[in-house]
Amino acid sequence: MLPAIPLREVPGQFLDQQQWAQVRQLTSSDMEALCSLNAAYPDGAHDFFWKSGRSDADARRCYRLGKAMLEDCRSKLISGELLAIGETRNDIRREIPVTWWSALYPLFAADKARGGTRLFKNVAVRHNELTEAEVKLNECVAWLRQRELEGVTAKKVLRHQAAEQLQGITS
Protein backbone atom coordinates (compact mmCIF):
# COMPACT_ATOMS: atom_id res chain seq x y z
CA MET A 1 0.00 0.00 0.00
CA LEU A 2 1.28 3.44 -0.92
CA PRO A 3 1.68 5.89 1.95
CA ALA A 4 -0.95 8.59 2.41
CA ILE A 5 0.02 12.22 1.90
CA PRO A 6 -1.40 15.26 3.72
CA LEU A 7 -4.42 16.84 2.02
CA ARG A 8 -2.42 20.02 1.34
CA GLU A 9 -0.13 18.01 -0.99
CA VAL A 10 -2.98 16.50 -3.03
CA PRO A 11 -3.23 19.33 -5.64
CA GLY A 12 0.48 19.03 -6.42
CA GLN A 13 0.48 15.24 -6.67
CA PHE A 14 -2.93 13.77 -7.51
CA LEU A 15 -4.78 16.51 -9.42
CA ASP A 16 -4.30 18.14 -12.83
CA GLN A 17 -0.75 19.50 -12.82
CA GLN A 18 -1.40 22.09 -15.54
CA GLN A 19 -4.26 23.59 -13.55
CA TRP A 20 -2.17 23.56 -10.37
CA ALA A 21 0.71 25.32 -12.18
CA GLN A 22 -1.73 28.01 -13.39
CA VAL A 23 -3.13 28.53 -9.88
CA ARG A 24 0.43 28.75 -8.50
CA GLN A 25 1.31 31.29 -11.19
CA LEU A 26 -1.68 33.45 -10.20
CA THR A 27 -0.84 33.37 -6.47
CA SER A 28 2.15 34.46 -4.44
CA SER A 29 2.72 31.29 -2.38
CA ASP A 30 1.74 27.64 -1.99
CA MET A 31 -0.46 28.55 0.99
CA GLU A 32 -2.28 31.26 -0.96
CA ALA A 33 -2.77 28.81 -3.83
CA LEU A 34 -4.24 26.21 -1.45
CA CYS A 35 -6.54 28.84 0.08
CA SER A 36 -7.71 29.89 -3.39
CA LEU A 37 -9.02 26.35 -4.03
CA ASN A 38 -11.65 26.90 -1.31
CA ALA A 39 -12.18 30.65 -1.65
CA ALA A 40 -15.62 32.14 -2.28
CA TYR A 41 -16.51 33.78 -5.60
CA PRO A 42 -14.57 37.04 -6.17
CA ASP A 43 -16.92 39.79 -5.14
CA GLY A 44 -14.96 43.02 -5.14
CA ALA A 45 -11.71 44.81 -4.48
CA HIS A 46 -11.69 43.84 -0.79
CA ASP A 47 -11.92 40.14 -1.66
CA PHE A 48 -9.27 37.42 -1.26
CA PHE A 49 -8.54 37.30 -4.98
CA TRP A 50 -7.61 40.98 -5.24
CA LYS A 51 -5.34 40.85 -2.19
CA SER A 52 -2.21 40.60 -4.34
CA GLY A 53 -3.29 43.22 -6.87
CA ARG A 54 -4.72 40.79 -9.42
CA SER A 55 -6.82 41.96 -12.33
CA ASP A 56 -10.52 41.06 -12.59
CA ALA A 57 -9.76 38.49 -15.26
CA ASP A 58 -6.98 36.85 -13.21
CA ALA A 59 -9.12 36.79 -10.08
CA ARG A 60 -11.98 35.07 -11.85
CA ARG A 61 -9.62 32.69 -13.66
CA CYS A 62 -8.00 31.72 -10.37
CA TYR A 63 -11.45 31.14 -8.87
CA ARG A 64 -12.57 28.95 -11.81
CA LEU A 65 -9.37 26.89 -11.74
CA GLY A 66 -9.67 26.44 -7.98
CA LYS A 67 -13.27 25.28 -8.21
CA ALA A 68 -12.41 22.88 -11.04
CA MET A 69 -9.58 21.37 -8.97
CA LEU A 70 -11.80 21.13 -5.88
CA GLU A 71 -14.51 19.31 -7.83
CA ASP A 72 -11.94 17.04 -9.49
CA CYS A 73 -10.64 16.07 -6.05
CA ARG A 74 -14.15 15.44 -4.73
CA SER A 75 -14.97 13.37 -7.80
CA LYS A 76 -11.89 11.20 -7.25
CA LEU A 77 -12.79 10.76 -3.57
CA ILE A 78 -16.44 9.94 -4.38
CA SER A 79 -15.43 7.42 -7.04
CA GLY A 80 -12.93 5.75 -4.73
CA GLU A 81 -9.96 6.55 -6.97
CA LEU A 82 -8.54 8.38 -3.95
CA LEU A 83 -9.06 7.24 -0.35
CA ALA A 84 -8.79 9.47 2.70
CA ILE A 85 -8.30 9.02 6.42
CA GLY A 86 -8.71 11.65 9.08
CA GLU A 87 -9.32 12.32 12.74
CA THR A 88 -12.88 12.76 13.99
CA ARG A 89 -13.90 15.37 16.57
CA ASN A 90 -13.04 12.74 19.21
CA ASP A 91 -9.49 12.35 17.79
CA ILE A 92 -10.26 8.88 16.46
CA ARG A 93 -8.34 8.21 13.24
CA ARG A 94 -10.51 6.45 10.66
CA GLU A 95 -11.03 6.02 6.97
CA ILE A 96 -13.52 8.49 5.56
CA PRO A 97 -16.19 6.44 3.75
CA VAL A 98 -16.41 7.11 0.02
CA THR A 99 -20.16 7.67 0.32
CA TRP A 100 -19.63 10.62 2.69
CA TRP A 101 -17.66 12.65 0.14
CA SER A 102 -20.83 13.76 -1.63
CA ALA A 103 -21.46 15.94 1.44
CA LEU A 104 -17.84 16.64 2.45
CA TYR A 105 -15.49 19.28 1.06
CA PRO A 106 -11.71 19.13 1.35
CA LEU A 107 -10.17 22.21 2.96
CA PHE A 108 -6.71 21.91 1.46
CA ALA A 109 -4.83 24.59 3.39
CA ALA A 110 -6.08 23.29 6.75
CA ASP A 111 -5.77 19.53 6.02
CA LYS A 112 -9.45 19.18 6.94
CA ALA A 113 -12.65 17.86 5.41
CA ARG A 114 -15.95 19.41 6.40
CA GLY A 115 -19.57 19.03 5.49
CA GLY A 116 -22.86 19.17 7.38
CA THR A 117 -22.13 17.97 10.91
CA ARG A 118 -18.99 16.04 9.96
CA LEU A 119 -15.47 17.33 10.44
CA PHE A 120 -12.20 15.49 9.94
CA LYS A 121 -8.81 17.00 10.71
CA ASN A 122 -5.29 15.88 9.74
CA VAL A 123 -6.71 14.37 6.56
CA ALA A 124 -4.34 12.23 4.52
CA VAL A 125 -5.03 10.86 1.04
CA ARG A 126 -3.70 7.96 -1.02
CA HIS A 127 -4.42 6.31 -4.34
CA ASN A 128 -6.75 3.34 -4.15
CA GLU A 129 -4.90 0.23 -5.24
CA LEU A 130 -7.50 -2.07 -6.71
CA THR A 131 -6.74 -5.55 -7.94
CA GLU A 132 -7.53 -6.33 -11.59
CA ALA A 133 -10.59 -8.32 -10.49
CA GLU A 134 -11.87 -5.35 -8.43
CA VAL A 135 -11.36 -3.00 -11.37
CA LYS A 136 -13.29 -5.36 -13.66
CA LEU A 137 -16.05 -5.72 -11.06
CA ASN A 138 -16.35 -1.92 -10.79
CA GLU A 139 -16.48 -1.65 -14.57
CA CYS A 140 -19.20 -4.32 -14.67
CA VAL A 141 -21.26 -2.57 -12.00
CA ALA A 142 -20.92 0.77 -13.81
CA TRP A 143 -21.91 -0.89 -17.10
CA LEU A 144 -24.96 -2.54 -15.51
CA ARG A 145 -26.04 0.79 -14.01
CA GLN A 146 -25.60 2.49 -17.38
CA ARG A 147 -27.68 -0.18 -19.11
CA GLU A 148 -30.38 0.23 -16.46
CA LEU A 149 -30.41 3.98 -17.10
CA GLU A 150 -30.83 3.17 -20.78
CA GLY A 151 -33.92 1.17 -19.90
CA VAL A 152 -32.54 -2.35 -20.25
CA THR A 153 -33.53 -4.14 -17.06
CA ALA A 154 -34.41 -7.68 -18.15
CA LYS A 155 -32.10 -9.90 -16.10
CA LYS A 156 -31.60 -12.52 -18.81
CA VAL A 157 -30.64 -9.89 -21.37
CA LEU A 158 -28.27 -8.18 -18.94
CA ARG A 159 -26.67 -11.46 -17.87
CA HIS A 160 -26.11 -12.48 -21.50
CA GLN A 161 -24.67 -9.07 -22.42
CA ALA A 162 -22.53 -9.00 -19.26
CA ALA A 163 -21.12 -12.43 -20.12
CA GLU A 164 -20.21 -11.11 -23.58
CA GLN A 165 -18.65 -7.96 -22.11
CA LEU A 166 -16.58 -9.85 -19.56
CA GLN A 167 -15.62 -12.78 -21.80
CA GLY A 168 -12.13 -14.00 -21.03
CA ILE A 169 -11.86 -12.41 -17.57
CA THR A 170 -12.51 -15.60 -15.67
CA SER A 171 -10.39 -17.82 -17.92
pLDDT along the chain (171 residues), means of 10: 88 95 91 88 61 73 92 92 94 93 94 94 91 70 76 69 63 42
Q: What is the DSSP string of 47-78?
A: SGGGTT---HHHHHHHHHHHHHHHHHHHHHHH
Q: What value, to the nearest 5°, has the Cα angle with vertex 14 and ends 123 and 23?
A: 95
Side-chain half-sphere CA neighbours of 122 within 13 A:
9
Please state the domain extents for the chain. 5-126, 132-165
Burial of 158 by CB count in 10 Å (0-12 exposed, 13-18 middle, 19+ buried)? middle
Residue 67 is predicted with a pLDDT of 94
The model carries a pTM of: 0.72
93-96/5-6 β-pairing: unpaired
Cβ pair 14, 83 in contact under 8 A: no
